[in-house]
Amino acid sequence: MKVLFLGGTGVISSECAALVTARGHELTLVTRGRSQTAPPPPGARLLYADASDPRALRAALRDGADGERFDAVVQFVGYEPGQIADDVITFAPRARHYVFVSTAAAYRSFDRFVRLTEETEQANPHWEYARKKAEGERVLRAYAADAGLPFTIVRPAHTYGASRIPGYVGNSRHPWTLVDRMRRGADIIIPGDGTSVWTLTHARDVAVGLVGLLGNERAFGEAVNIMGDEALTWNGIHAAIAEAAGLTVPQFAAISLHVPSDAIVAADPTLAGGIYGDKMHGAIFDTAKLRALVPDFDPRIGFDQGMREALAWFAANPERQTVDAEANAMFDRLGRAHRTVLREFAANA
């Protein structure tokens, strides 16, 4: 099978790229060549272009693969609805199957337990990223059929890998910040009382599901949830990270600080979309469709194992252990303010 990835060096896409080549398929990556965390797998062909620029993308495809057709194209870096419309024009004559990586964050949130299926309403008033992904899905459905382009939409939830440490207030550019704070004994901000349940899936497990959908005619025209069943509380997530970082249970308890989401957003308003539009709501998903389409999808990497692997990855190269000074300062301010309030209430009790 000849496969084209738009992207290929991100957390999910790099694991998918490794699996595609391991299974003996011919892989081409369209990349800007900037990632230092996930190099392309050996044997992959590289086309250097900005996949969000349709002219640059088509020029790269002409230069590198004139007249070539792909059995599957996967759009990992499509964030604008117009980009998906351009992809339909670009790949209708080139692809036998187009896969758009959307997001489960587009689903409506509920104030009760609801297992989220592919039929759950998409409505996220708080996060532009999620709304644009949902609109990209609508654009694809509106234009792909008329263009003769078979497509599948995949909706991953919170996916992590060796280079991503998924704290509640994540820091994708400097994920080591959380571990550094833990080891220094600085406050670790956990939302609410830390008991909201969150689904986490390792990227290697997601890759099995996604790669299994490529060229799968039963998946044509479908939207598919693509995540595992492991759901942890935010207390449990941070405790697992702390354990991997070498902290004892008493050490972690001493630095854990439960803070309302509203206070976190007040301290850093740029976090509003990801918190109000995603993480503050418990999320459990139905994956029956994926398991029917890809029988070998069977997530095997538990979060404890995933965090041990992540810490080992960072330990292997100190240059990866970068820290976000601005985020650190915000966490410190928030921690001081919250502990001051707790002390004042305790003193006046």
DSSP letter (8 states) at residue 25: -
pLDDT of 66 over the 80 cut: no
A 10 A CB-CB count for 288 gives: 12
pLDDT of 266 over the 80 cut: yes
Mean pLDDT computed over 207-216: 98
**Among 101, 2, 8, which Cα is nearest to 49's?**
8
Check whether domain 176-199+231-283+303-344 has CATH 3.90.25, yes or no: yes
Tokens of 126: 């708080």
**Three-state secondary-structure class, residue 8:** coil
pLDDT-derived band at 170, boundaries 50, 70, 90: low
pLDDT of 298 over the 70 cut: yes
Q: Name which CATH class applies to 2-160+200-226.
A: alpha beta
Residue with tokens 């939830």: 157
Mean pLDDT computed over 329-333: 94
pLDDT of residue 236: 96
pLDDT of residue 67: 64
pLDDT of 255 over the 60 cut: yes
226 near 208, Cβ under 8 Å?
A: no
What percent of the chain is modeled with pLDDT above 70? 97
In tens, the pLDDT along 22-45 reads 999 999 999 987 676 788 999 999
pLDDT of residue 172: 74
Task: Spell out the domain ranges in the chain.
Answer: 2-160+200-226, 176-199+231-283+303-344
pLDDT of 111 over the 90 cut: no
pLDDT of residue 197: 92
pLDDT of residue 280: 86
Q: What is the mean pLDDT of the chain?
A: 93
Residues of 30-39 as b/e, b for ≥16 C-beta within 10 angstroms?
bbeeebeebe
pLDDT of 212 over the 70 cut: yes
In tens, the pLDDT along 113-162 reads 899 999 999 999 999 999 999 999 999 999 999 999 999 999 999 999 99
pLDDT of residue 177: 95
- Global confidence as pTM: 0.94
Mean pLDDT computed over 254-274: 93
207 near 23, Cβ under 8 Å?
A: no
